[in-house]
Chain A
Amino acid sequence: MMNFSEENIALFDAYLRNEMTDLEKLAFEKKLSTTPHFKKEFDEFKTFEKAIEYAEIKSFQKQLKTWDNSIVHQPNSNRPKVIRLRIISAVAAVAIIALISSTFFFNASDKESLVADNFQPYDNIITVRGEQADIDMGLHFYDLQEYSKAIEQLEKHPNNLSALFYAAESHLALKNYKEAAEKYELLLTQKNSLFDEIIRFHLGLAYIGMDKNDQAIEMLNSVKGDFKSQAAELIDDLR
């Protein structure tokens, strides 16, 4: 457990970065020598900072291990070319780990990270089905997170607002920001109250993906209800 208090972070940082006046420094050092609890907090903060620095090395080594695994799991060309399910699963697992580590250690695009950190495809809440087989099929693929297939089915019904919404969500999941934005914009003109909050929030994310930060802030400012605080945090992040 790291038990240093939040209030002391600025103080510890100023001391460690040599940003205090001589007088402040003296007072700080006196408090260190006379207040054991304060000294303990300060030591924990220093350990915390060292751990952050060390995490860089650990993350890099984690990345190297995933590269090693990808070498180990490459199918041997001398063996019969029977691809077993177990091998596919292992390669897929390695690829997923590599992707996670890679985006963590090596710099991912900032805008993509911001969108990814805030985007959660909206749950499929369409309970009445059977009217349109294509939409049913599209939502089935959406539930399976097979977004390309979902789009293919859902876009057959451009006038169905639910199909339009889930097609937009699928595009955003695939980082097709422009296509997602076009659909959300169309939905907003329809005054679709059912998805209004989430449309505004996700349209804001699509604008971030398109590097349209001003439009993103304007849209996020219009978000109300459950997503309002998340939108406010995002605006703060953008500024």
Chain B
Amino acid sequence: MDKNTTIASIKNQDERVVQRIYKEFKPKFENWIRGRYKISNAEDCSEIYQRSFTVLFFNIKKDKLVDLEASLETYLYGIGKMIIREWWRDKSPQKEMDSLNENTDLENVSLFSEVFEKSAIDEATSDKLIQALEEIGEPCKTIIKLFYWERNSMEAIAIKTGYKNDASAKKKKYLCLAKLRELMNR
């Protein structure tokens, strides 16, 4: 599968492709962290890889890799450098690592922080919300996902979910938000 096809499949959230890429890149990436940055703890390596892969996935989903010249793997390593820098700052603020001051030639990588900007939401709220989303049922789950996750317009949502117009779909969205809030507050 060539790079553009892979990117298109990831953008379409093709689970098999995302999982294959995730598992394929993982061993080499974690070896690279261990060798280059001397991070030996397996859980730390795994966490850094997960965060890096998450940024890769969401940058593809948000169309930020349209004109990517490097390979996906190279781009992932660029993200990895940024994540390690942040991770190290959080874990050991005093520690200086010369190798972390290297510049990356991938400008898009600097956008990585956007993926985690919502982290001001506390874990308990986040867990409750995920639980509520799992319980809310259809069509609310789809409407909420299409609006907040897929950034669809209400017109597009009305077409995809069979509502007669955007006003009907919007009315349903409000009911769904009220139901979601109720499930969270239980």
Contacts and interface: CB of A to CB of B under 8 A. Distances in A.
Interface of A: 1-2, 4, 6, 9-10, 13, 47-62, 64-65, 67-68, 71, 100, 102, 104-107, 110, 113-114, 117-118, 237-239
A58 B141 contact: no
Contact of B162 (A2, A100, A238): A238
Interface in B138-173: 138-139, 141-142, 144-145, 148-149, 162-164, 170, 173
A110 B125 CA distance: 27
B149 to A, nearest CB: 5
B23 A65 contact: no
Determine the main DSSP class of A at the interface with B: helix
B53 A52 contact: no
Nearest to A234: B138
B18 to A, nearest CB: 8
B134 interface: yes
Contacts of B173: 13
A55 to B, nearest CB: 5
Interface SS of B by simple majority: helix
Contacts of A56: 145, 148-149
B57 A60 contact: yes
A110 B146 CA distance: 12
B22 interface: yes
A117 B134 CA distance: 10
Given A9-B177, A48-B181, A56-B148, A113 B141 contact: yes
15 contacts: A9-B174, A48-B177, A50-B120, A50-B121, A53-B118, A55-B129, A56-B148, A59-B130, A61-B50, A64-B22, A68-B50, A106-B15, A113-B141, A117-B137, A239-B162
Given A6-B174, A51-B118, A113-B142, 6 more contacts: A51-B126, A53-B149, A55-B130, A60-B58, A62-B130, A64-B53
Interface string B61-83: 00000000000000000000000
B13 to A, nearest CB: 6
Contacts of A117: 137-138
